[in-house]
Structure 1
Amino acid sequence: MAGFDFDAARRWARFDPGRTLARRDDAQLPFADEDDLAGSSLLLDTCVYIDRMQGRAPPVVSGLVATRQVNHSTVALQELVHAVGALRPDDARSATAISAIERQIKAMPDHRLFEPDAEVLGRAALLAGMMCRLQGYDGDARLKALQDCVLFLQALRLGLTVLTANVREFDILLQLVPTGRVLFYRKG
């Protein structure tokens, strides 16, 4: 794979703390507050779109989105479009949800929508495999870990900060790759 150093990946994959990594106390994590409105550009996790559509995003998220440069990943686009396919056509609520998702996707400017490259995808697959091994993930959690790792490493490569409410997985990612940048929020 062009741009992917398999030997370095093999060395990195040997990492084993000898235990499952635990979620750290909130005081040790970067949670957003009103003092964080200015700062680095953001890459939005899929939960941000969903929380905003469902009215569960706290005011600080609206403030961050209004004041910082917001970027989008094809990972989030993929997860949102997947939801459209998963919604039941015979459920009356589906049309409303699909319309909301369509508005979100159409609001993503092309110049702010980024695709992960081969290096990010390769490293994310490795990191997700490590997470699954260390944390004992199986089934759907494995795919979710892969998507989270792609988003996390994509943000790192682009010099962006991931905005997410997914504290559990992204805290583990920060422990494995401390150079990453994440800003957490609590759902309203």
Structure 2
Amino acid sequence: MLRAADAWHSTVVENELASACDLLDPAHANTRDVIKQIIATIDRMPPHRMISPDREIWRDAGILTGTIARLQGTPRSDRRRILNDAL
């Protein structure tokens, strides 16, 4: 049985969470609370447990994204999601 594990976070996920704040409708009644929750989640990610893709990983992820997009005819609008998944 697994009793304890270290939690690691990715700067890619941090970016996805942060960019979600900009996508929310500012006129919606719950937007302010949701943004507060997202910010609190990001703030709880300890910097010493953060993993950031290096240049080689970005390059490989870009190649994989381009290959998948070409072979599967992926629309341009979905390529960012694929890139983030590859990272």
Same fold (TM over 0.5): yes
Residues matched between the structures, number: 87
Structure 2 counterparts to residues 83-102 of structure 1, below 5 A: 83-102=20-39
Structure 2 residue ranges without an equivalent (≥5): none
Q: Distance in 1 between matches of 2:56 and 2:12?
A: 15
1:114 CA displacement: 1.6
Are 2:24 and 1:79 equivalent residues in the alignment? no
* 107 and 134 in structure 1: CA distance in 2 versus 1, 3 angstrom threshold: same
Partner letter of residue 8 of structure 2?
N
Q: Distance in 1 between matches of 2:74 and 2:21?
A: 26
Q: Distance in 1 between matches of 2:5 and 2:66?
A: 32
Which structure: greater helix fraction? 2
| RMSD of Structure 2 on Structure 1 (CA) | 1.5
In the superposition, the TM-score normalised over structure 2's length comes to 0.90
Partner of 2:69: 132
Structure 1 residue ranges without an equivalent (≥5): 1-36, 39-65, 151-188
In the superposition, the TM-score normalised over structure 1's length comes to 0.44
Partner letter of residue 73 of structure 2?
G
1:136 CA displacement: 1.8
Q: Distance in 2 between matches of 1:71 and 1:84?
A: 22
Q: Deviations over 1:67-103 (max 9, x none)?
A: 3211111110101000111112211110111011011
Are 2:44 and 1:70 equivalent residues in the alignment? no
Structure 2 counterparts to residues 9-20 of structure 1, below 5 A: none
Aligned partner of residue 144 in structure 1, secondary structure: helix
Partner letter of residue 144 of structure 1?
R
Are 2:54 and 1:117 equivalent residues in the alignment? yes
Fraction of identical pairs, as percent: 34
Structure 2 counterparts to residues 100-179 of structure 1, below 5 A: 100-150=37-87
Hey, which bits of structure 1, 4+ residues long, moved more than 2 A? none
